[in-house]
Structure 1
Amino acid sequence: MGKDARFSSNRLRAGRWSGEGQIYLITTVTKHRRPVFQDLFAARELIRVIRSDEARGSHRMLAFVVMPDHLHWLLELRNGSLSQLVGRVKSISAKRIGGRVWQDGFHDRALRKEEDILATARYVVANPLRAGLVERIGDYPHWDAVWL
């Protein structure tokens, strides 16, 4: 095996660890960073898919924001693997929206117990402010957060 083969994205994804009860911050982007979710239907459809999967018991949604070209999602994994969950949500949402929506893969960060989950949730929902899309969080329609 060549030295670069050890670091291929498939190998890294295969080695990803998922823990039920673990809290993760997920970021995934659209193909070619296209602003797919500027479209109201597309953004709301993605949110419906996330909520539907939560109702099936796969995860507990803590916070999310659907940006024009990416998703930030803070969740507690409840059932199955993280890769299965994200893959399923991306696949179902792409079928409902139409076309090749998502870039392959996703970025995840497991939050440690000592990390401030509330601060991370605030970071997630403040994305539209930092991006200059709105002046107040309440003016952006595609986010949600629950009290922990």
Structure 2
Amino acid sequence: MATSARRDFASLLDDLFVASDKGDGIEGDEAGARPSIPFDYLSVADELHSGRIKVSAAEYREAGADLASEFAALLDHAKLALGGEEPKPEEKLPPIDPESIAAELGLDKPKGVADFGRMRRSFAFSNHPDRVAPHLRQRAMIRMQVANMLIDEAKRRAVAGARR
């Protein structure tokens, strides 16, 4: 095999095939020897990016003609493979109506003024927009606003009731 650094890939393959055919009858230590490939990897990369390797538009379209049918077959195969799976139940979204949030906060029971801060922190810990999934952040922000409004109103009523 020649060791010239400026060789084309086809002649390199031809030399490898010839070398492997010659080695078929060899036994012992020589049987395990592999031919070395003396070429510069950067020159191969340079050749690939040089633009001298051309693919005609017709060949490109011909190679891609079956892609649509292959993709459809792949989708059909995926549908068959996933056909036995049970569909996931719809995600239950947390409510944003004030009555549900008030019930979740426990505002129907009388509270002391000190309990409202703890209630606010507890609700924020579970429902803050930064702690929920991205698709639920808008809903969490609305829930936090409603909860804060309800807690502030309940706190005002508790303070007014304590003054009387």
Q: TM-score when scaled to structure 2?
A: 0.24
Highest Rg: 1 or 2? Answer: 2
Tell me: higher relative CO, structure 1 or 2? Use CA pairs within 8 A at least 6 residues apart: 1
Relative to total residues, which structure has the larger strand share, 1 or 2? Answer: 1
